[in-house]
Structure formats: structure tokens, C-alpha cells
Amino acid sequence: MNILSVDKCLRLWDNPVFRFSFFALLVWIAYYFHFPKFGLYEDDYWFIGIPANTPFKELWEIMINHFFDFQNNHGRYISVFLPWLLAFINLKIGGLWFTYFFGIILVALNVFLFHKIIRSRFPAELAFLAALVFLYFPADTTKALLVHIYQLQISVLFLMLAGVFWIRSKKWVSYIFAASCLLMYESPFLPFILFPLLDEISFKRSFLIKFIKHLLIVSSIIVIVFVTRKLLGESRVDSLTLLETSKRIILSVTGGPLVALFSFLRSPYLALSEIKYTLPYIFASFLILLPCIWLITSRFKESSSKFIHLPLTTKHFKAAFDIDPVLLNALKGIGVGILMAMVGYLFSVTHYPPTTLNGRMTSVHLAATFGTALFTGSFFYLILFIVKKKFRLAFSVLLSFYFAVLSGYGALIQKDFIKGWELQKDLMSQIVEKCPDVDDGTIILLSPENLQNPKNVISYSWALPIILENLYYFPEQWERPPKITLYNEYYVNLDIDSNSQFYFEPRYKFLYDNDTIVNLRQNNVIFIESTDGKYQRIDTLFVVNNDTLFVKPYRGEDNISRLNRRIIHPLMFRGN
């Protein structure tokens, strides 16, 4: 590649539209290539199902009520309001397809803004490598989960906007966006605590005063939010003691980053172990990555003989040393990145321990993405500094292959999302086929035996009781809509009271109108078992304390086909 063509390519890379499109393409391949085959999972039935099926006027009232429901909104005052509003708009624009497409734009935008922030403080090569790590960060496997797109990734966007205003020296605007993280989803706020370290670090009094002032402002924001949550009795904060909280924080900030770094070794192994499936994604990503990585690394220049003179002066100590500017940037990025990664686990006390590497709970690693990306990108930049010029092409090939393999790991997560949606459609198709006689208050007990959940997304989740409500309009005269409940999993203690009334205690009471117990009526319970992927309606009798609960006999009624269907109904069945 001659100098003229390199210059043209670099000018193209410097175009923000091209950079955003580049990141969006990689995000699409790694996390959203099969998004038309994705569906709703776990919390999606709450965060997406409600805005999908609710008229805007009614939805607005629900959002306002939730905003002021201090005990149940977990102190995240806009965490439902904004996601519901955006989901409602996107569903109206293009249905579930566009709702996922919005995720590609949002995740790519976060990568783009992260690159912009790091590029303003570090060399272009380091910023580019860190952005790729940020994009492929394998410890968090939830980038394609709708509830996390519309809640967690928006919180990350607030952090990135805080960073953009920080590098533009509009600090108070930056604090406003950072505080918005706490009101949306708190953990992405954490890297902001150390943002002054992204600036030029010195041991001068002026820098220390600015840093202390920043810490006081940040601490005030955190204290105000969490004291408010404590006083209002928000359950996740109210249940923690000082001793237990301190113990969890210490173990999290030390162990969490190690788990995140381990994922960089584990994920390529998993992707290569299923190479027959992941190869097309690896190959496509490699073809896209190699020219850009080679282009960026090719403009890396060896340091001149002019070193940076760093004075190290305190009241009682005076010293100075010279350091290569390239090495200085690499070491600064590594040091600041490690600290940010550790700080990213300060709020993991409610998702303790931060060791999960599969499924929705991997969001515990979300706040460590910023610091880990800066640390790892700086480490790769240090290798680039060490590697001689004649080996730089080989380094670019190896690095491109590594990131491409991480894209293959993303493909495995997509595979689980496809399988999870197919399992749900298969379940609902057979439930409607086997239980057309559901009635007022019918409880469908689903046996958990032989049910197979994919590793990275739960098909048979806590949301089962509200799925039917997401699919059908039930008659107003029905006191309770029929519900599917995972037997012996999401309820506790099937029992009988002194009046021979059978009941169970739901684990998640809000799914049952906040009732502490749910009464079961004789001849209105259906029991479903799974065998080899086939669901069967079983005439099982439940005997408790010598009393018998009789299941609902099927007499040929078909109530369900007469019900009006909601918007997401066509998506939920075989053939769709």
C-alpha cells in the first residue's frame, strides 16, 4: 500500500460517519446478525410487552405512576419511563424488527462515543484498539437482550455523553448526564468517578484539588440517591448491612476484574470449540477487521529521541525522570484502566458474587467494560510499541483473528437467542393446543423436568405467568387471567388452609396482583409435562394433608380461540 493510498484511507477513517458505520457493521455481525429470529425473553415481557399492548394514554399514566412508586422502582426513576417510551415509539415505527434494529444503532453509538473519548486523551492507535475491546467485551453477554438495550445500554449512553462533555470541558453538563446513569441503571455511572485520570495527570496541587473536588461532587450525587432509596425503603438497598456491604465490595472489586479478564481467554476457546458454526462469522469479521487494524497500526511511528521529562516533586521529596511518550501513554492507559475496572464492581453488591459468565446476570460486568477496554487496548498498544516494524503485519493479523474469534463467540450467544425463542414458541403453541379451555383464574402448572434452557438466555423464566396476558385480551368479568406457573420453581409451598382451600406462595408477588398467597380452585388447575419436546396434559391429583386437589378435566371447550389477540400474538407461534 503506497503512501498516497494510506493517506486516503486514513482520511476516510477520520470521517465520523465511516467510523460509526464500521462499528455498527461489527456489532451487527457479532450480536445482531440473526435479530429477525429473536423474540422476547425474561424481563422483555414487562419492558416490551406492556408498551406493545397498551394505548399511549394508558401507558403514559402507568409510566407516571411507576415514576412515583418509590419502593418498587428501585430508585431508578427513569428506568421504566424512558425504555417504555422508546419501545412504544420503535414498535409503532417497525414492530419487533425495528425494536431490535434500534439496538444495533445504540450499541454502535456507545462504541463510537467511547472511541471519541479515549481518542481525545490517548494516541489514535490505542483508542482504536480499546474501542474494539469495548465492542467485543465478552464478559457481558446481554447486548442483544431487549430489556438491556432499552435500559442498560441507554445508561451506558448517558455515561458516554458525560464523557463527551467532559473532554469538551463542560463539566456541569457532564455531571448531569452522569447522574442520569444512577436514575436509569446505576452501575455504568462508576467509571465516571475516575474520569479526571483521563486528563493529564500530575502531582501538582492544582490537579489534586480538582480531583478532590470531583470526588466530593460524585460522592454527593451517590449519597443523595442512595440515602433517598434507603429512607424510602427500597428493598435492594434496605436489606444490606454495612458489614455485609463492605465484605461484598472488597471481594467484588478484587475478584470481578479477574473474572472479566478470564472471559477474554474463555470466550475464544468456546468459539473455536464450535468452529463449524462460528467459522462464517469469524471469517467475515476477519476480512473487515484486518484492513482497518493494519491501516491504523501502520501509521504508528517509533518514538523520537525526545523523551518526556517528568518531574516528581513533593514537599519533602524531589526527583525527575525521562520516559518515552509511547510507553507513558501505554502505562497510563493500563493503570487507569485497571482502576476503572475495579471501581466498576462497587455496585455489584446486589448481584453478588460477580462471577457469572452466561445469561442475563452477566450485566454485573457492564460497568467494568470501560476500564477493561482501556486497560486491554493499552496492553495491545504496548505490544505494538515493543514489536518491531517488520513484524507489525503479523501482529495485525493475529489481533484481527483474535477479535474475529470474539465475534464468533457472539454468534454462539445469538444461537442461544434463536433457540430460546423457538422453545418459547413451541411451548405456547402446544399450550394453546392442549389447554384451549382456560377460564377465569385457571392456573397451568408446568413441570420443570426435561425443560432445556439455553446457556445465555432463559426460555422458561419468571415471566411465564404474564405471557398469556401479553397474547390475549381476557373478558372483563374474569377476576383473574389464566397464568402459566413453573411448578415447584417460581412458587413456594403448595399447601392447604383450615378451610380445605389449596394455595401457593408466589416467589414474585407482583405477577399475582401482589397477593402473598394464590388460591387454587378445584377443577381449575391444568398440569403440563414435557417429554422429548412434546407437552402433555396430565390428569394428576395433588394430595396435601389428606385433601385432594382435582385438576381441570377437558370436556371439549375452546375458550381461547374466541379471545381477541394482542399485537405480539402472531410472533409467538410456530411458523412466525
pLDDT of residue 389: 76
In the chain, how many H helices and how many E strands?
Answer: 18, 13
Report residue 174's pLDDT band, with 50, 70 and 90 as the boundaries.
very high
Rounded-to-5 percentages of helix, strand, coil across the chain: 60, 10, 30
- The predicted-structure confidence for 520-539, as pLDDT tens digits, reads as follows 888 899 999 988 778 899 88
DSSP string over 526-558:
EEEEEETTEEEEE-PPEEETTEEEPPPPP-S--
Identity of residue 46: W
Residue of 178, 228, 177 whose CA lies nearest to 74: 228
In this structure, are residues 348 and 354 in contact, taking their beta carbons and an 8 Å threshold?
A: yes
* Confidence (pLDDT) at 296: 83
User: What cell was used for 292?
Assistant: 482497518
At 222, is the secondary structure helix, strand, or coil?
A: helix
pLDDT at residue 305, rounded to an integer: 47
Percentage above 70 pLDDT, the chain: 88
Strands (E), 216-271: none
pLDDT higher than 80, residue 484: yes
Provide φ and ψ at 535, rounded to 5°.
-100, 135
pLDDT band, residue 81 (cuts 50/70/90): confident
For 429-478, write each residue's pLDDT tens digit. 999 999 999 999 899 998 888 888 899 998 888 889 999 999 999 998 99
Cα separations in angstroms, 283 against 30, 279, 286, 327, 400: 12, 6, 5, 33, 10
Q: Which residues is 484 bridged to in the sheet?
A: 444
Q: Which pLDDT score is estimated for 304?
A: 47
CB 417, CB 38: distance < 8 Å:
yes
Q: CB under 8 Å, gap of 24 or more: what pairs does 46-49 form?
A: 46/147, 46/463, 46/466, 47/80, 47/83, 47/84, 47/87, 47/146, 47/147, 47/150, 47/151, 48/87, 48/91, 48/99, 48/146, 48/147, 48/150, 49/466, 49/470, 49/568
* pLDDT tens track for 115-133: 999 999 999 899 999 999 9
Whether the upstream peptide bond of residue 353 has omega within 30° of 0, thus cis, is yes
- Examine the pLDDT at 299 and tell me if it is beyond 80: no
Residue 550: pLDDT band by 50, 70, 90 thresholds?
A: confident
pLDDT at 33: 96
Buried b (16+ CB within 10 A) or exposed e, 170-194: ebeebbebbbbbbbbbbbbbbbbbb
What are the tens digits of pLDDT across the range 57-77?
888 887 777 666 655 555 567
- Residue 69, SS3 per DSSP: coil
| The pairing of beta strand 518-520 with beta strand 502-506 | antiparallel
AA letter at 374: L
Residues 138 and 464: their CA atoms lie apart, in Å, by 29
- Residue with C-alpha cell 476480512? 287
- How many Å apart are CA 543 and CA 534, to the nearest integer? 26
Higher pLDDT, 11 or 425: 425
Within a 10 A sphere around the Cβ of 391, how many other Cβ atoms? 11
Q: Which residue has the cell 482520511?
A: 11
Q: Tell me how far apart the alpha carbons of residues 62 and 50 are, in angstroms, rounded to a whole number.
A: 10
**Opening angle at CA 37, ends 32 and 39, nearest 5:** 95
Distances in whole angstroms, Cα of residue 105 to Cα of each of 23, 29, 60, 157, 408:
10, 13, 25, 11, 20
- Res. 390: pLDDT tops 90: no
247-274 confidence digits (pLDDT tens): 888 888 899 999 999 999 999 999 999 9
For residue 504, the cross-strand partners are 518
C-alpha cell at 440: 377465569
pLDDT in tens, 198-253: 988 776 788 889 999 999 999 888 887 776 666 555 555 555 566 777 788 888 88
Helix axis angle for 242-273 and 368-386, nearest 10°, is 50
Residue in this structure with the C-alpha cell 446513569, named with its chain if needed: 181
Phi and psi at 270, nearest 5°, equal -65, -40
Q: Model's pTM, two decimal places?
A: 0.90
Cell numbers representing residue 218 in the block? 460524585
Lowest mean pLDDT among 6-10, 78-82, 368-372, 485-489: 6-10
pLDDT score, position 251:
86
Q: How would you classify the pairing of strands 443-446 and 483-486?
A: parallel
Q: What is the distance between the alpha carbons of residues 431 and 433, in angstroms, rounded to a whole number?
A: 5
Residue 307 has pLDDT above 60, yes or no: no
